[in-house]
Amino acid sequence: MVEKLIKLPDVGEGVAEAELVEWHVNVGDLVREDMVLAAVMTGKATVEIPSPVDGEVTFRHGEIGDIIATGTVILKIRIAGEGGETDEEPQVKPAVAPVAALEPASEKKVEPLKPKAEIAASPPVAKPLSHPVGVPRAEGEKPLAPPAVRLRAKEAGIDLRQVPGTGPAGRITHEDLDAFLNSQPGSGAIAAGLQPNKAVQEVKVVGLRRRIAEKMALSKSRIPHITYVEEIDMTALEELRTRMNGTQKPGRPKLTILPFLMRAMVKAIGEQPGINALYDDEAGVIRQYGGVHIGIAAQTPSGLVVPVVKHAEARDIFDCAREVARLSDAAKNGTALREELSGSTITISSLGAMGGIVSTPVINHPEVAIIGVNKLAVRPHWDGVQFVPRKMMNLSSSFDHRVIDGWDAATFVQRLKALMETPALIFVEE
């Protein structure tokens, strides 16, 4: 019998290590050629590792969440034949980002992770009382009780002078208070059968969730954010958008607010190119880009990803809408390519109807700006004579205050406001 050594393959792009996010086999399993053995993650893309041979798994190295160096032996498969061990570096499957398939810490045929510490809740047992419940203390006698018990009694509206104590010198304990509560008519949560849930479950942070955590920590620890909020009167834009959707030609995508905002950003960036930049704070260099590559933060079943619309400056409003729809579907279905999830120079964060009134979006490091889209709603607006109903929406935008001054941030947002409130300007070629 021969044992085939399966090593973590080189997944390209100079990656020297990868995170193990899925096991599809256990020791003792029989596998066939091309069967998926495991999956690893680099950046926000996952790579599946197939079996190069038929055989039986005899060794498995690594746990979900481990960072493993390229070339490390992760599996041994016993195959028919003579000899000892042979090396094998399997050909990885096309590098895509199966976002929707990244179930946290999932393993095929492996028992799910159980809570590390789970304490079964049981009703407290009261100690025997030294004298009958409800017998008041002598007049002027002060009850002895620790602060926590006094607080509980105060919140429950209990006079501690009515509660017998079983502790030293008649001290009232939590058990004494529980027993007193249980003895009263309609004695509250415990008597009604409701018990505190003291279970604790530990969930290991792996895969995409780990990448998100690392990215957020990096952004918040290194970037001093300045957030600027402005309200936009979207009434005219919404009327135009409705009219364009009602008269659109076959094959044209439905327009949402995002394509209008993207085209407005392209125009505003043309006047302030420093907004469309990446800041390499270690080298002390700001790289301003001519191409406007807009990341669209998208929520997926596995977490937040940012597909990128490349060269928005070369796309009309319908092409922007078409590309946003395509990338959003790919991200949610887990078919987005690795290059479609990287390379942004500025990002839009939009939660749609869940956008709230104000948000404080976190900059996608090493970018220097992010535009947050809040909920659109009809609100009363003063037109100088009277209050009239208008469709209003806030933009909550964050900027890297190391390289973007408050005045420049405000100027950029005000330019977006002017373009969005007079949407015909978005289509004017200068």
Measuring CA to CA, how many Å separate 420 from each of 127, 238, 261, 292, 425?
Answer: 70, 10, 7, 18, 8
Which residue among 87, 159, 316, 405 is the active-site one? 405
CA dihedral 319, 320, 324, 330 (to 10 degrees): 40
Measuring CA to CA, how many Å separate 238 from each of 175, 242, 244?
Answer: 63, 6, 10
Do residues 49 and 37 lie in contact, with contact meaning Cβ atoms separated by under 8 Å? yes
* Residue 176 among the catalytic residues: no
Do residues 324 and 274 lie in contact, with contact meaning Cβ atoms separated by under 8 Å? no
Identify which of 305, 302, 335 has the alpha carbon closest to the alpha carbon of residue 103: 302
Residues 6+ apart with CB under 8 A from 406: 226, 228
Which residue among 54, 311, 401, 408 is the active-site one? 401
* Residue 405 among the catalytic residues: yes
Catalytic positions: 401, 405
